[in-house]
Structure 1
Amino acid sequence: MKTKITGHDLIALGYRQGKWMKDAITHINENALEGEAMKTYLEQFKSPDPIALHKKPLTFSINIKAENDEEKDNVDKVINSMQTLMKTPTLVGGAIMPDACPAGPDGTIPVGGVAVAKNAIHPGMHSADICCSVMLTDFGKADPKDILDAAHANTHFGPGGRDRDSQFRFPAELLEAFEANYFLGDKDMIKMARAHLGTQGDGNHFLFVGTSKKTGNTMMVTHHGSRGPGARLYSKSMKIAERFRKELSPDTKKQNAWIPFDTEEGKNYWDALQVIRQWTKRNHEVLHNSVAETLEVNIENRYWNEHNFVFKDGDLFYHAKGATPLDPKFMPDITGPRLIPLNMSEPVLIVEGTTTDSNLGFAPHGAGRNVSRTQHRKSKTGSTMQIFKEETRGLDVRFFSKEIDITELPSAYKNAKAVRAQMDEFGLGKVIDEVMPYGCIMAGDFQKNAPWKLRREKRNKTRR
C-alpha cells in the first residue's frame, strides 16, 4: 500500500507551508499521484523567486533645501532615509517636500514624502493616521469668537471616543459600507467607528478659526485623521503586508511591506481605504455642521483634502505621507482649492497648483519640524506659561485638556516663511488666499493629569 503524502513531505521537497497545502495533500492522496504526475501537479504551488531590491536607489525629486545647520542635519537624514526607501522593488518614483522630516528608522518614508508604487499598496507609507486631513468651512461674517466658542463646546480632543449620550448619528450608508468590507466589518471596529465620530485626537491635530485675507469672512479649519478605526485598519493591513513580504520579498524592510493590488486582499484593502476616507470626511463634517446648527449660521462654502493617504492613477499608487494632493485626479470629490496649515500663529494657506515632473502632483502639508518634540521641550527655558504667552500673543489659543503643550507652539515648527519661499521656488502650489489666525483649540498635554497617572502618583505617595 502506497504511503500517504504529508505536509512534512512537501516541505522537504522545498514547498512553503500555506493554506494551499491541506487541499493539495488531499488531492495527491485521493488520486494516488506520485513521481512526475505529482511534480507536475505541485508546480502551480511553487513559490516564485524572491523579488530583489533595486540595486541602486531610484532617483527622486528633492523639493527642499536647508536654511541653517539644524535644518541641514534634518534634510540629510530625510534624504538618506529616502534613498534606502527607493530601493523597495515596487517603487517607480518619489519626492520630498519642504516640510520633510524623519519619521522612523532608516528607510522609513519621511513626513513630507511621496512614494509611487506599481500595483502595490504599502500601508507603512501612509502611516497609522490614515487619511489625516483638513476641512474648511466658510461661515460668512460670523463672529470668530462665537465660532470658536461653539466649536469648543462641540468638539472632542484626547484619547478614546464619545460616551453614548454625546455620540453623533452614524450614517446608515457608512454602516453598510463597514459591514460589507473584510477589514472593517467586525463588531469592535464598528463600535469604535461610532464612538470616535466627531473626535479629533491629540498631537498636532487642531481646530483653527480665522478670517479670509481676501473676503474677511470667518473660516473654521479642522485637522485630524481616521482616529481609532484608521489605526485599527492600519494594524490589520500591516500584518497582511508582512505575510506577503516574507513570501515575496524578504529583503524588503518591514516598514515597507506591501499588499499586491491584484490579490483579493489588495482589492479589499483598497475598498477599506475608501470607506475610511468617507468616515474621516464625515468626522470633519459633523463638527463643522454642529457649529452651524448651534449658532444658526449659514455655511457659505466648504472644501477639504487629505494629506496622509494612497491615491490611485491607473496601476500606480501614490503614497503621500504628509503631502497635499494638487492634482484633481487624486480627489474624486474635489470641490475647491487645497489647504496647507503652518502653525497656530500663521495663516492657513489656500492653494492651487499644477502637476510637474518634480512635484508629482503634490505640495507640502504644513511647516514640518526640524527637531523632535523631546528635543524641542528640552530647548525651552522659562515657565510654560511664560513661553505660551510669548508665542501666542494676540491669539485665542486653547487646550482642550487645560494643560499647555509647548511642543505644539509655533517655535516647535520650521520657519513658515522659509516653507512658503520653497513652495514658490520648487513650484509647489500658488497661494490664492490665506486664513488669518484668530485662535485655535488643540488637545494639549492631556497626559499630565491623566487618571492613570494620578492613580500611580497616589500609590507612590502611599508607599512612602
Structure 2
Amino acid sequence: MGSKLSGKDLIKLGFPKNNTINIALGQIHRYRKKEKKSTILKEAGQVLLNPEKYKNHGTWGKLAEGLIAPVEVRMHELINQRAPFSIFGENEIDEQAKQQLYNALKLPVTVQGALMPDAHSGYGLPIGGVLATDNAVIPYGVGVDIGCRMSLSVFDIPAGYIQGKKERLQGVLKDHTKFGMKETHDKKMDHEIFSRPEFVEIPLVKKLLDKAYKQLGTSGGGNHFVEFGIAEIKREIPGCKLPPGEYLALLSHSGSRGLGASIAKHYTYLATKQCPLPKNVQHLAWLDMDTHDGQEYWAAMNLAGDYAKACHDNIHLRLSRALGKRIAVTIENHHNFAWKEKVNGKECIVHRKGATPASEGQLGIIPGSMTAPGYIVIGRGNADSLNSASHGAGRLFSRSRCKSMFTRNEMKKALKENDVTLIGASVDEAPMAYKDINTVMRLQEELVEVLGSFRPRIVRMDK
C-alpha cells in the first residue's frame, strides 16, 4: 500500500536527498495513501524524469515545482515600518482589532490596509479588515467562511403582504430553509457549479464534492440567517425596474459551508508551513501566488465563492417557488474573499475579511441586526478604504459575553418592541450584541451612498 512507501524508496528512484522527498511523501500520504506502492512509485518516477509535464497536476504539481524551482522555506520577520492605512470610525473600534491591523501592515508583502467602522478582533486579520498584498494571498485574510455573502431579493409585491401573510411566511421559512452542520434538504437540486473542473483537478476539492452537493441551499450556524422583511427603495437602483416604494423582500447571509471551511483549513496549514512567522502573527501566513499551492488555493477559493453564491441562489429559488412569486431584482455581494485589483496602479491581492466591496457604482447590502435596518448601498470608490465598506453593524460584545450579559426574556422583549418574529437563534445573536448600524453608516458616508433600506420582520436562524 502507498502508506508503506518511504523516503528510501524515492531515493532509490533517483530523487535528490533534499526537501523534495518530504514534499513527495506529504502529497502521497494526503491524496494517494490507499493506492498500491508500485503504482505510486511508477508515477513518481515519471515526475522525476519530466517534472515540467506535471507542473499543474493536482497530486504531483507541488513535487514538480520542488524539482524545478524549490520554494524556499524561511522565517519571515515583520518590518519596522507600517504600510499606509486608513481607519474609518476609529472611536468605535476596539484596540485589539486595531493592533491586528497594525501587525498585518508590517508584513513584508503588505502594500496598503484599511479598517471599516464595524471592525472587531478576529483571527489573523480583524473582522472588518482590508489588506492589499503584493503577489501573496493570506488564507486567514480571507477567513474560514470563504465567500460569506449577502443576498437581497426584492419582489414586486407591496410591503403590506407581510402583515396579511405572516403565518404563511413563517411556515415557508421553517419548511424550506436548513441550518447548521446536520440539516440538509430532502429534495436535492443539481447545479452547474458541480461540473467545474476544480472538482476533478484539485484532489482536496474532489473529496469535498459529495458534501458540497448535500449542503447546497443550506445556511451555516452563528450569525447566518434567512429573513423576510420590507425593502424600501428610496432612489433609483441600477438594474432595478421597480419604482421607489416599499416591497416584500428576502435577505440571506451565509457562505460556502463545509467546502469553504475545509479549503481554508488545508491551505492555512500549508501557508504556516511555507511561511513561518512570529507566533503573534502566525495566522497571517501567506502563499506566494507564483507557487503551486498559491495558484491552487486561488482556484479553490474562487470555486468556494461561486459555490456560496450558488447556495444563496438556491435558497432564494426554493423560497420564491414556495411562495409562488417571481423575484424582481437581486442585490448581492461577498464579504470574505480576495480579489485581484489595482492599488495605486499596481495589481495587488485585496483581502476583505468582513468588508463589502464598494468600488464606484458597485451595489451592495449592509445589514444591521435582527431588529435594526440594513441598507442598500452603491460604492463611491474611495481609494483610502481600498474601495471597501463595512459588512454590517459589527459586534459590540463577543458571543461568550452575550451569554453572560443577556437573557432570553430581554431578547424577546427587544424583538416584540420591533415587531420581529424569530425562529431559532440563541442569546449570542441578541440585537444588543451589535453596534448601532446608523452610527456605522454615518461613519462611512464617504465610502458608500444609501439607495434604500431593508427592515427585518420574520427571521430564521440556526437553533
TM beyond 0.5: yes
Structure 2 equivalent of residue 269 of structure 1:
297
CA distance 1:241–1:438, shift in 2 (3 Å): same
Is 1:156 matched up with 2:175?
no
Structure 2 equivalent of residue 84 of structure 1:
103
- 1:181, 1:272 within 8 Å by CA — same for their partners in 2? no
Deviation of 1:442 after TM superposition, in Å, equals 1.2
Deviation of 1:90 after TM superposition, in Å, equals 1.2
Task: Please state whether the residue corresponding to 1:327 is helix, strand or coil.
Answer: coil
Structure 2 length normalisation: TM-score?
Answer: 0.77
Letter in 2 for 1:109: L
Select 1:339's aligned residue among 365, 380, 383.
365
Q: Deviations over 1:390-448 (max 9, x none)?
A: 34424232233xxx512212111012221122122xx121111011232211114xxxx
- After TM superposition, the structure 1 stretch with the greater mean CA deviation from structure 2, 42-51 or 168-177, is 42-51
- 2:200, 2:206 within 8 Å by CA — same for their partners in 1? no
CA distance in 1, matches of 2:420, 2:154: 19
CA distance 1:435–1:390, shift in 2 (3 Å): closer
CA distance in 1, matches of 2:71, 2:173: 59
Structure 1 length normalisation: TM-score?
Answer: 0.77
CA distance in 2, matches of 1:240, 1:123: 10
Select 1:421's aligned residue among 420, 442, 446.
442
Letter in 2 for 1:242: T
Q: Deviations over 1:42-61 (max 9, x none)?
A: 99769487554322222311
Give the gaps of 5 or more residues in structure 2: 1-10, 26-43, 50-66, 234-244
CA distance in 2, matches of 1:262, 1:45: 12
- 1:103, 1:109 within 8 Å by CA — same for their partners in 2? yes
Deviation of 1:87 after TM superposition, in Å, equals 1.3
Structure 2 equivalent of residue 186 of structure 1:
206
Is 1:442 matched up with 2:433?
no
CA distance 1:45–1:357, shift in 2 (3 Å): closer
Task: Please state whether the residue corresponding to 1:358 is helix, strand or coil.
Answer: helix
Select 1:377's aligned residue among 403, 411, 433.
403
Letter in 1 for 2:387: G
Q: In the comparison of the two structures, how many residue pairs are matched?
A: 394
Structure 1 equivalent of residue 382 of structure 2:
356
Task: Please state whether the residue corresponding to 1:140 is helix, strand or coil.
Answer: strand
Is 1:327 matched up with 2:327?
no
Give the gaps of 5 or more residues in structure 1: 28-41, 330-335, 445-464
> CA RMSD, aligned part only?
3.0
Deviation of 1:267 after TM superposition, in Å, equals 1.7
Deviation of 1:17 after TM superposition, in Å, equals 6.7
Task: Please state whether the residue corresponding to 2:90 is helix, strand or coil.
Answer: coil
Q: Which has the larger radius of gyration?
A: 1
Deviation of 1:378 after TM superposition, in Å, equals 1.7
Structure 2 equivalent of residue 65 of structure 1:
90
Structure 1 equivalent of residue 38 of structure 2:
none
Q: Deviations over 1:22-43 (max 9, x none)?
A: 99xx99xxxxxxxxxxxxxx99
CA distance 1:438–1:245, shift in 2 (3 Å): same
Deviation of 1:83 after TM superposition, in Å, equals 0.9
CA distance in 1, matches of 2:297, 2:70: 24
- Where do residues 300-315 of structure 1 align in structure 2 (5 Å cutoff)? 300-313=328-341, 315=347
Q: Deviations over 1:138-173 (max 9, x none)?
A: 12216233444323320011222416xx14312245
Is 1:56 matched up with 2:72?
no
Deviation of 1:251 after TM superposition, in Å, equals 7.7
- 2:141, 2:284 within 8 Å by CA — same for their partners in 1? yes
CA distance in 1, matches of 2:231, 2:155: 11
CA distance in 2, matches of 1:43, 1:183: 22
Deviation of 1:369 after TM superposition, in Å, equals 1.4
Deviation of 1:16 after TM superposition, in Å, equals 8.9
Task: Please state whether the residue corresponding to 2:94 is helix, strand or coil.
Answer: helix
